[in-house]
Structure 1
Amino acid sequence: MTSPVAGVPASFVIPDILSSWPFQRVDNPALALVQSSHRKWFQSLKTNAKYQKTFEGCNAPLLCSIAYPFAPASHVRIGADLLLLEFLIDDIADHLSPGEASRFAGVIRDVLKNPGTKRPDGEDTIGAIVQDFWLRASSEASHTFIWKLRKELIGYVDAICQEGVDRDSGQARDLDSYMQLRKTAIGVLPAISVCLHNIDIPRDVLLDPKILELETLAGRMAFLTNDMTSYNVEQARGDDLLNSVALLIRTEKMPVQDAFDAVADKFRIYTHEFLAIMRTLPLDSDPSLKAYVHCMGYWVTAAHEWAFEVGRYRLNSAARSGGRVFLLPKKIKDEA
């Protein structure tokens, strides 16, 4: 962080972390089509204002057009709808007590386990939204997709609820336990399952330690870039308990810029580990596995690129290319 000058806010630079990453950005040409159908689907759900605010702020089709650059429009659409669900779940769970979050998660688990059951009157709208998504996404999908997405979505919901418990109690995790939780709570593992929609990969292959480690590394890289791009708005509203940049500032007494640089260094270590493992896999002889592994890589790219093009984190293209980002003033949480 630069030394404060009278009247000038402190600032930081988001490090360049993708310069040696081979999965460079490619935009799926189906973006406009997906944006239109995605919006129509959301509007058909007749949600309330809090859901509408999340929808307008996340632009899930843009994120998914970068994450699935070579996928057909139908798959990008499934990904966009899934990402919106994750944003809704995350944003709503942030404001729930542990007991409320547990009941909220129970609704989602019940939908995933009993998708054909009519939802009870008076249930939170999220139940009907998840059910509508699941019935459409699982139609004509591979067995691998159904098994994997259900498993990862339940894991995601559980992790989000645990984050809520941490926030409510004020518990500050150490870096290791934080990273274990966040690799699931960032929501990348359900998202990369979309790549399996029309692919059947044997379960023992997906459970191979190397594939599981690649998933872990992709999840870690995704949440580290998210921590860097979201830090400013989170520190402004006092909601940075679960952010690795803020964690290093608190526990290691690092200046802001040093914390950003340390997180970027950790990201680069994971980049090296991911690529090293990837090179040991027989991807050229297994197109399905290659598609899945490359999907992980493009998701890391998407998580970073998207953050500079939506209003959610109050960034711009200059910040992506090394421009200074000025710290936002502290605000009451509901105002941020």
Structure 2
Amino acid sequence: MAAAPTTITLLDTLSAWPWPRQVNPHREDVSIASGQWVQSFGLFSPKAQVAFNRCDFGLLAALAYPLLNKEHFRSAADFMAALYCFDEYTDQGDEVFVRQAADIVKDALRNPFKARPEGEMPIGEVFRQFLARTVPISSTSVRQRLVETQERAMDAQVQQCVDRKHDFARNSEEYLAIRLHSSSMLPSYVIMELDIDVPDEVYYHPLLEKLRYWGFILICIDNDIFSYNIERARGQALHNWVTLIALERNIAIQEAVNYLGSLHDRTKDSFLEATKNLPTWGEPIDSEVRRYVDGIGNWVRANYEWSFESRRYFDTHGAEVRGTLQLTMLPKVQSCQAQISPGVAAAKSSYLLSEVGLRPNRQT
């Protein structure tokens, strides 16, 4: 049996990405206000609140939405925080609890000006207040897209919870179908439209659909590579693309990282080529589309920068890891019994399962 690696080499995936790092000038004031808003709900224990603060979602919003005015940016910061709140609030819950929380959030999004029932879990009020603040500063089409895409995200989060609770490993195609929505990237793109006007007939153009998807793929690859170490340590690596590639292709973790790096390069090429050949609808629509596409490109950059600058993945070592691209593997704290999707053909490798902290119990 091969020895488990003690380090993995990360990839400088955005060295030639044409969208530079930008930060919203209202970051400091809005981050403080948004953070205090989240804390007012009492969702977290003191320890969990510290973990929330370490993630610095105000920074993520500032990087992702550098051009929004202060009012719009507050909605963006609240949305980033609300997404984390749902993840953490439901992380230890069973399927019934997570479904209940998801349904409450969906109802709150549909009824942002309706008081929530007394005694209801507070996650509904978090999303209700977010949308109530956002409705007056957004168009009808933006509100509709935001609610629809986040409702799909809630359903995907429930499925993700079910998979995790049953230690079920999906193949890449199945994983991406869920992850596209569970990541909330589609509603996160919609937040960009608070000051961009893209008509429906343009928004749903096949090329813009591809650009949204390719942006998601680039973000997903970077996110899953950066988060793999801590998810593996916690025994939660089944919902991570690095793990699934290693199992599907029967390769080591470093090889899986490199494989995803090559896919990242190919996806970047497709994205950049498409941005050179955007359809034209005449002004002012063409300028709005250009801003929207730039927003997707900037989101890819924002996720990458935030991953190193916050303490979510690398604690206080982000600058060091970014400089060396060497990541020391954390010790595994638990081992799960994995149920493997029929599409994960390489799950016979006991070494690979052991490496990600799993024991095989294949379903065929």
The TM-score with structure 1 as length reference comes to 0.91
Q: 1:213 aligns with which of 210, 213, 220?
A: 210
Residue 111 of structure 1 aligns with an amino acid whose one-letter code is A
Matches within 5 A, 1:57-72: 57-72=54-69
In the other structure, the counterpart of 1:328 is: 330
| Structure 1 unpaired stretches of 5+ | none
In the other structure, the counterpart of 1:111 is: 108
TM-superposed deviation, 1:332: 4.3
Say which is worse superposed, 208-217 or 234-243, in terms of deviation: 208-217
Alignment partners' CA distance in 1, 2:68 and 2:279: 22
In the other structure, the counterpart of 1:140 is: 137
Matched position secondary structure for 2:169: coil
Matched position secondary structure for 1:246: helix
In the other structure, the counterpart of 1:279 is: 276
Q: Are the aligned partners of 2:26 and 2:70 in contact in 1 as well (CA < 8 Å)?
A: yes
In the other structure, the counterpart of 1:89 is: 86
Q: Are the aligned partners of 2:38 and 2:81 in contact in 1 as well (CA < 8 Å)?
A: no
In the other structure, the counterpart of 1:185 is: 182
CA distance 1:266–1:322, shift in 2 (3 Å): farther
Alignment partners' CA distance in 1, 2:176 and 2:322: 24
Matched position secondary structure for 2:16: coil
Matches within 5 A, 1:161-200: 161-200=158-197
Q: 2:232 aligns with which of 230, 235, 254?
A: 235
Alignment partners' CA distance in 2, 1:226 and 1:238: 17
Alignment partners' CA distance in 1, 2:60 and 2:271: 22
* 1:25-66 deviation digits (Å, cap 9, x = unpaired): 122222212222222322333434276355313211111111
* 1:181-202 deviation digits (Å, cap 9, x = unpaired): 2122222211121111133321
In the other structure, the counterpart of 1:22 is: 18
In the other structure, the counterpart of 2:359 is: none
Q: Which has the higher contact order (CA 8 A, sep 6+)?
A: 1
In the other structure, the counterpart of 1:222 is: 219
Q: 1:31 aligns with which of 27, 31, 41?
A: 27
Residue 93 of structure 2 aligns with an amino acid whose one-letter code is L
In the other structure, the counterpart of 2:305 is: 305
Alignment partners' CA distance in 1, 2:16 and 2:124: 42
Matched position secondary structure for 2:168: coil
Identity of aligned residues (%): 30
Q: 1:44 aligns with which of 31, 37, 40?
A: 40
Q: Are the aligned partners of 1:142 and 1:198 in contact in 2 as well (CA < 8 Å)?
A: no
Alignment partners' CA distance in 1, 2:145 and 2:50: 29
Alignment partners' CA distance in 1, 2:3 and 2:302: 32
Say which is worse superposed, 68-77 or 149-158, in terms of deviation: 68-77
In the other structure, the counterpart of 2:351 is: none
* 1:178-221 deviation digits (Å, cap 9, x = unpaired): 12221222222111211111333211211111111111111111
The TM-score with structure 2 as length reference comes to 0.84
Count of equivalent residues: 328
TM-superposed deviation, 1:243: 0.4
Q: 1:249 aligns with which of 246, 252, 255?
A: 246
Alignment partners' CA distance in 2, 1:231 and 1:181: 18
| Structure 2 unpaired stretches of 5+ | 336-364
Alignment partners' CA distance in 2, 1:249 and 1:160: 24
Alignment partners' CA distance in 2, 1:74 and 1:142: 14
Residue 307 of structure 1 aligns with an amino acid whose one-letter code is S
Q: Are the aligned partners of 1:57 and 1:311 in contact in 2 as well (CA < 8 Å)?
A: yes
Matched position secondary structure for 1:197: helix
In the other structure, the counterpart of 2:360 is: none
TM-superposed deviation, 1:22: 1.1
Alignment partners' CA distance in 2, 1:294 and 1:69: 11
CA distance 1:328–1:63, shift in 2 (3 Å): same
Matched position secondary structure for 2:12: coil
In the other structure, the counterpart of 2:354 is: none
Residue 200 of structure 2 aligns with an amino acid whose one-letter code is R
* 1:54-99 deviation digits (Å, cap 9, x = unpaired): 5313211111111122222322222111011111112233322222
CA distance 1:74–1:12, shift in 2 (3 Å): same
Alignment partners' CA distance in 2, 1:183 and 1:224: 12
Query: What value does the CA root-mean-square deviation take over the aligned residues?
Result: 2.1
Matched position secondary structure for 1:325: strand
